[in-house]
Amino acid sequence: MTRYERLAQSMATEIRSGNLTPGSRMPSLRQIIAQHGVSQSTAARAYYLLEQWGLVRAEERSGYYVAPPPAKVAGAAGAASRAAAGESATVDISELVFSVLDAAKRPGIVPLGSAFPSPLLFPLSRLAKSLGQAARNVSPWSTVVDLPPGNENLRRQIALRYMRVGISQPAEDIIVTNGALEALNLCLMAVTQPGDIVAVESPGFYAALQAIERLGLRAVEIPVDTATGLDLDALAEALDKHPIRACWFMTNFQNPTGVTLPAQKKQALVELLAKHDVPLIEDDVYGELHYAPNYPPPAMAFDKRGLVMHCGSFSKNLAPGYRVGWASAGRFAERVQRLKLMTTISASIPVQAGIADYLEHGGYERHLKKIRLAMQSQRDAMIDAIRRWLPEGTQHTCPEGGYFLWLTFREAVDAMALHRLAIERGISVAPGPLFSASHAFENCIRLNYGHPWSPRIDEAIRTLGELLVHPEVRAQA
């Protein structure tokens, strides 16, 4: 954590504890500099964070004042505040993300905060066979032929996956990318310019916030209820209020909450965006990891105008580390394809051919059935451990796919402090502020159940229960 973040956390503690009441004046920048021995830049950035968190408000030529607490909307398992869908804001999330991710890389750590499932769940030896076969047979001309949009056989196999859920998708409109994250970034670049406003989920995927930050865009946060999903009323208000140029949403097994939009809400979402002619970048990397018999149809299934850019990947369900994803970019396909050529030129040609071979001959459906059963069993084991070891009243989601749980604690805690103490004990968690442009959700964490259950993971949950009553965790709230 940087110095200005520590300073902001210290002042946030004073506000949340009631020592500084709503409307009271905060110390001036000069007073902060003298009291804490920091630079003017550090003091200013700390106040900027407090303002982004909704804890203070600035008055011109007067200074900073403690802001009134935002109104909350009732909902299951910690529904987001409707205030999150207010003004657009610049995004400053990357330093926080990098600090949390770097800490989680320590050897031997229990990866409850990881974004990835266990590699032990994937058919890596069978994939290697397909990759070897493809590498031996690859044509020298493929270095030209398989430039974007990508390997023809792979795109045909992806198009067949769409047909399984009733979507007619021409293979020529599919662009193969270096993982889904590149697909999502290319789609965002295709429909925005610096300074534009993008609607994102709150809580939502931190890489979306990093992309907005990197491209010089602004974010409007749309609340996600952990029972019903994206707040479409809040989105409608934001579309009326702001010139939103794009939306980046995850409609199936959303990261971090695990919630899925019902089909009727997906249809209503597409119709609402069509009314405003706003494109949707649909992040659907977890869709194949459904526990029910059928793949929940993505929002793309209801799109009649080519406004939905549907992005997927094999990294989460088949081939971690192979970095093969795609974008089915609708009316923006040509623009996305050209951006791909202008940036990274092509995904690995042998790897594209190898995955295409596996999809055709390797038993993909058998593998998916196996990994879905494993994920569901691991979810149930983690929920059981949460009920046994974490404080009474801890709320959790119960996703029907993917591998993330979202926890909201009844008692006020500091998720960042919990993260720091857990790391010291060899456990990573993903703290709630990671998933918000305004660094909200201090009372929440995301847990990964994508690893085979073991006594070590059970013990890690027990340790989290002990840390939740630690003075540093409780005193910061």
Q: What is the CATH number of the domain that holds 106?
A: 3.90.1150.10
Give percent of the chain above pLDDT 90.
Answer: 63
| Closest by CA position to 226, among listed 446, 462, 473 | 446
Q: What is the mean predicted confidence (pLDDT) over 169-182?
A: 94
**Separation of CA 396 from chain center:** 17
Domain harbouring 49, CATH code: 1.10.10.10
Residues 249 and 318 in one domain: yes
Residue 87 domain-assigned (yes or no): no
**Is the pLDDT reported for residue 166 higher than 50?**
yes
Determine which helix (DSSP H) or strand (DSSP E) holds 123, and give its type and residue range.
Answer: none
Residues 161 and 297 in one domain: yes
Kindly indicate the confidence band of residue 147, based on its pLDDT and cuts at 50, 70 and 90.
confident
Enter the tokens of residue 143.
């270095």
Q: How many domains does the chain have?
A: 3
Look up the pTM and report it.
Answer: 0.81
Determine which helix (DSSP H) or strand (DSSP E) holds 237, and give its type and residue range.
Answer: helix 232-241
Residues 326 and 454 in one domain: no
SS (H, E, C) 333-372: HHHHHHHHHHHCCCCCHHHHHHHHHHHHHCCHHHHHHHHH
Residue 316 domain-assigned (yes or no): yes
Sequence-separated (6 or more) residues with CB below 8 Å from residue 21: 66
- End residue of a domain, out of 317, 349, 364: 364
pLDDT tens track for 238-254: 999 999 999 999 999 99
* Residue keyed to tokens 């110095």: 3
pLDDT at 292: 94
- End residue of a domain, out of 332, 364, 396: 364
Cβ(54)–Cβ(67) below 8 Å: yes
| Closest by CA position to 69, among listed 29, 4, 20 | 20
Most confident of 107-111, 190-194, 344-348: 190-194
Residue 279 domain-assigned (yes or no): yes
Query: Which has the higher per-residue pLDDT, 204 or 19?
Result: 204
Residue 80 domain-assigned (yes or no): no
Query: Which has the higher per-residue pLDDT, 32 or 381?
Result: 381
* Residue keyed to tokens 């009291």: 35
DSSP single-letter state for residue 296: P
Residue 187 domain-assigned (yes or no): yes
Residue 289 domain-assigned (yes or no): yes
| Closest by CA position to 89, among listed 233, 183, 202 | 202
pLDDT tens track for 113-141: 999 999 899 999 999 999 998 888 777 76
Residues 403 and 433 in one domain: yes
Cβ(148)–Cβ(336) below 8 Å: no
**Separation of CA 201 from chain center:** 9
Q: What is the mean predicted confidence (pLDDT) over 64-77?
A: 55
Between helix 232-241 and helix 263-276 the angle, nearest 10°, is: 10
Torsion of CA 89, 9, 248, 321, to 10 degrees: 140
Q: What is the mean predicted confidence (pLDDT) over 349-376?
A: 94
pLDDT at 477: 41
**Is the pLDDT reported for residue 79 higher than 70?**
no
Residues 162 and 264 in one domain: yes
Cβ(167)–Cβ(287) below 8 Å: no
- End residue of a domain, out of 310, 341, 364: 364
Residues 161 and 306 in one domain: yes
Kindly indicate the confidence band of residue 75, based on its pLDDT and cuts at 50, 70 and 90.
very low
Enter the tokens of residue 257.
């909450």
Residues 206 and 314 in one domain: yes
Q: Is the peptide bond before 256 cis (omega within 30 degrees of 0)?
A: yes
Cβ(353)–Cβ(359) below 8 Å: no
Residue 312 domain-assigned (yes or no): yes
Sequence-separated (6 or more) residues with CB below 8 Å from residue 281: 184, 187, 188, 191, 246, 247, 248, 249, 309, 311
Residues 374 and 411 in one domain: yes
pLDDT at 80: 40
The Cα–Cα gap between 162 and 298 comes to 10
pLDDT tens track for 267-309: 999 999 999 999 999 999 999 999 999 999 999 999 999 999 9
Domain harbouring 139, CATH code: 3.40.640.10
Residues 25 and 136 in one domain: no
Q: Which domain holds residue 191?
A: 123-364
| Closest by CA position to 390, among listed 473, 451, 477, 454 | 473
Residues 335 and 408 in one domain: no
Strand order from edge to edge, sheet including 395-396: 395-396, 404-408, 444-448, 430-431
Residues 457 and 408 in one domain: yes
Residues 236 and 341 in one domain: yes
The Cα–Cα gap between 361 and 364 comes to 8
pLDDT tens track for 35-56: 888 876 677 778 867 876 778 8
